[in-house]
Amino acid sequence: LRDGTYTYIYADYTTLKNSKGKIVGHMGLQVDINERKRSEAALRKSETHFRLLGEHSSDIIWVYNFKTLSLTYISPAVSRILGWSVDEIQGTPYSKTVHLRDRKILRKHIIAWAIEYRKTKVTNRAWSIQLRHYAKDGHIVWIESSINFKENDEGAIEVVGVSRDISDKKKGEEDLLYSNYHDQLTDVYNRRYLEDHLTTIISKKEFPLAIISCDVNGLKLTNDVFGHSLGDALLKQSADLLQSFAYGHDMVIREGGDEFLMLLPYTTKERAQERVSQIKEKASTICIEKSSLSLSFGVAVMESEDDSYKDVYSLAEHYLYREKLVVSSLYKEKIITLLQDSLFEKYPYIKTHSEDVASLSKLLAIELGLDQHNIDEIYIAGMLHDLGKIGFEENLIYPTQTLSESEQFLLQRHSELGFHILRSAQHYGKIADWVLSHHERPDGKGY
């Protein structure tokens, strides 16, 4: 052009010939095509941008044609996220990689959205769906896809999607849900799970529904004597044992402390009691510090939805505590005997000393004219008065140098520790009190 710029012209020329066939001139048609060139440039730029976006996007960009029922385009990110190459996926149905259980969900939503789009022609509805997909190596990848619709040049509806890997997000959600509904120590369901799902459990009408209430015997005694680490191990073993006898839809729930609950669908009271017997038999083979694991149980059954869960649960608790009064006390007495034997085996001097104290106490009791029952209890107290030393290190029992103030304080606590051990058993109440005070000065001035 005159100003030095250029313009796009479409020219169509033809030659003019005379009667003898000699070229005598030219005739041409010139058309301004600047607008068309600008449109083509814009289109090329758009296509370049789209190609760059598709090839370098961390998400999978894809187009699905409803007429051909296949993917007409998929970006290379499919290889990084799912392991499939573009050639293996393009031209195949979108559902090829979708988890079998999620394909029905996919069809339902896509068809519903497509019908809505056909009616309204409105795009950018922010439709979104989360589905499990198979990677090429077979593992599951959670994919979230943002969906839109358009019509191609042939008038066929196409789905345009952007899909991203949300596996880490889903795992985080699952981990959070798991921690919310499972006891951190034992890994069984917790009380919150029961509270949130009890209505759902009952609505399934899996009657008769057996409710087994369970307590771990001697947990407090174990914690007092051996420490909470062993008490935690006792709870874990109890939970593992109960879980090993939970089948199908059976549930094991830790209600807190030393209490567990088992819910057994389609289980009669007789079958539930058989299960309890099997658990007890197995528990007798599991050793905790030279003693077998001991559990108490109570069983009650919901026969139909007309029964009150609260009432049936209370009945199971009643049976549990009735059994626990006998079983737990006997178990604790057995533990006390084992602790005494262990202490005397570890420290022979304490055994000799305890026998001397017991004999002298018995002689004094006889001299005071006490009855035989009190004489016997005083003798037992003499034998057990140093039981609280069971958890002490040898340097406290047989010190080679003067004990520090903190060590003296710890040693003096053996009276208190012995009291807590003995008080846990039903028949040691008076003896426990005597053990607690056996180092107290008669004038009330302390240890």
Burial letters 23-61, b for 16+ CB under 10 A, else e: eeeeeeeeeeeeeeeeeeeeeeeeeeeeeeebeeeebbb
CB 241 within 8 A of CB 278: no
Of 340, 361, 315, the residue nearest 425 (C-alpha): 340
pLDDT for position 40: 64
pLDDT for position 43: 59
CB 414 within 8 A of CB 382: no
Please, what's the largest Cα pairwise distance for the chain?
163
Beta bridge partners of 13: 28
pLDDT for position 34: 74
Beta bridge partners of 151: 157
* pLDDT digits 0-9 by tens, 195-221: 999 999 999 999 999 999 999 998 888
Distance CA 297, CA 274 (A): 12
pLDDT for position 52: 54
pLDDT for position 55: 66
Beta bridge partners of 64: 71, 159
The angle subtended at Cα 166 by Cα 163 and Cα 168, nearest 5°, is: 160
Beta strand 70-74 with 127-134: parallel, antiparallel or unpaired? unpaired
Q: Which tokens sit at 169? A: 């997000």
- The DSSP string of 109-136 is HHHHHHHHHHHH------EEEEEEEE-T
* pLDDT digits 0-9 by tens, 341-381: 989 999 999 999 999 999 999 999 999 999 999 999 999 99
pLDDT for position 6: 79
Distance CA 186, CA 406 (A): 35
Written as tens digits, the pLDDT of the chain (447 aa) is: 778 777 877 788 888 888 888 888 888 888 777 777 676 666 566 555 556 565 657 899 999 998 888 999 899 999 999 999 999 999 998 888 999 999 999 999 988 998 888 888 877 677 999 999 999 999 999 999 999 998 887 888 899 899 999 999 999 998 999 999 999 999 999 999 999 999 999 999 999 999 999 999 988 888 877 778 888 999 999 999 999 999 999 999 999 999 999 999 999 999 999 999 999 999 999 987 766 789 999 999 999 999 999 999 999 999 999 999 888 888 888 888 888 998 999 999 999 999 999 999 999 999 999 999 999 999 999 999 999 998 788 888 888 888 899 988 989 999 999 998 898 887 888 999 999 999 998 888 888
pLDDT for position 382: 96
CB 354 within 8 A of CB 386: yes
